């Protein structure tokens, strides 16, 4: 197996996890920077929206490194999709596939099930709730919690921040509630 084929394979948690975890000390060592993705949206708005909104009146240029970081993630995603995409369908656990089959979800060729996430589905109640309402709630929750899962769970916990522990526990609790209580209801719409 050549290097290119090896990179295309899913990486195990014990390789990917430490690589993600090493971003925290690296950012702290090279410039006392905090890892987080959701703050970059605020920086973009502060740079592009010429309004007198107090929330966006700060020196966003000091945080421009974060914008380059997010741009690198975006470009890396494009490269991964173009050069490293796995042509095989996503492997889904048999019991989960059976449960999703009851809701009419059977296509696992893409990153997300196409029966839910496509343009025509956006005009259905289920698609609207999943994409629009879900997107709004993620954005609202990120702002309300003062950061996203990467900022709190990776950076905040590793620097022993109490608010990050609370936020991460709430993220997990919300995920369990969504998965076991709300998602079956939404999928049955």
Q: How far apart are CA 39 and CA 118, in angstroms?
A: 28
Closest Cα partner for 80 from 153, 149, 11?
11
Residue 2: inside a domain: yes
- Residue of 165, 154, 129, 125 lying closest to 38 (CA atoms): 154
Structure tokens at 11: 């990486």
Structure tokens at 86: 């796995």
Structural domain for 168, as ranges: 116-189
pLDDT at residue number 1: 67
Same domain, 120 and 76: no
Query: Residue 98 has what pLDDT?
Result: 92
Contact 36, 163 (CB under 8 A): no
- Does residue 61 share a domain with residue 123? no
Q: pLDDT (tens digit, 9 = 90+) per residue, 85-142?
A: 777 777 889 998 998 899 888 888 777 888 888 899 899 998 899 999 999 998 888 8
Q: Residue 14 — very low, low, confident or very high, per pLDDT cuts 50/70/90?
A: very high
Same domain, 75 and 137: no
**64-91 residue pLDDT tens:** 888 998 899 999 999 888 888 777 777 8
**Per the domain annotation, does 111 fall within a domain?**
no
72 and 1 fall within a common domain: yes
Count of domains forming the chain: 2
The verdict on residue 48 lying in a domain is yes
- The answer to the question of residue 105 being in a domain is no
What Rg do the C-alpha atoms of the chain give, in angstroms? 19
Determine what percent of the chain is predicted with pLDDT higher than 90.
Answer: 25
What's the pLDDT at 129?
92
Domain C-terminal end among 68, 85, 102:
85
Say if residue 48 is in the same domain as residue 124: no
Residue 104 lies in a domain: no
What pLDDT was estimated at residue 20?
Answer: 84
**Residue with the larger pLDDT of the pair 107 and 7:** 107
Do 6 and 53 fall within a single domain?
A: yes
Residues 63 and 125 in one domain: no
Angle at Cα 63 formed by Cα 78 and Cα 51, nearest 5°? 95
Query: Residue 92 phi/psi, 5° resolution?
Result: -115, 135
Q: Over the stretch 132-177, which tens digit does the pLDDT of each residue have?
A: 999 999 888 888 888 888 889 888 988 899 999 999 999 999 999 9
User: Are 67 and 17 members of one domain?
Assistant: yes
Domain identity same for 130 and 182: yes
3-class secondary-structure state, position 108: coil
With beta carbons less than 8 A apart as the criterion, state whether 105 and 84 touch.
Answer: no
CB 174 within 8 A of CB 61: no
Residue 120, both tokens: 């025509």
Assess contact for 126 and 189: CB atoms under 8 A: yes
Structure tokens that stand for 2 in this block: 């050549």
Q: Would you give the DSSP letter of residue 146? A: T
């Amino acid at each position: 197996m050549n290097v290119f084929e090896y990179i295309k394979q899913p990486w195990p948690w014990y390789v990917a996890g430490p690589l993600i975890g090493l971003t925290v000390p690296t950012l702290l060592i090279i410039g006392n920077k905090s890892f987080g993705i959701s703050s970059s949206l605020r920086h973009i708005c502060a740079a592009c929206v010429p309004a007198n909104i107090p929330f966006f009146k700060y020196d966003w240029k000091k945080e421009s490194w974060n914008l380059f970081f997010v741009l690198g993630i975006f470009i890396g995603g494009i490269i991964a999709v173009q050069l490293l995409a796995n042509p095989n369908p996503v492997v889904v656990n048999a019991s989960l596939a059976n449960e999703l089959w009851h809701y009419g979800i059977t296509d696992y060729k893409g990153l997300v099930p196409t029966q839910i996430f496509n343009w025509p589905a956006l005009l259905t109640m289920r698609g609207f709730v999943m994409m629009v309402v879900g997107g709004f709630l993620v954005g609202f929750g990120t702002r309300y919690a003062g950061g996203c899962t990467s900022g709190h769970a990776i950076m905040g916990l590793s620097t022993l921040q109490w608010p990050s522990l609370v936020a991460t526990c709430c993220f997990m609790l919300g995920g369990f509630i969504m998965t076991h209580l709300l998602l079956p209801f939404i999928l049955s719409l």
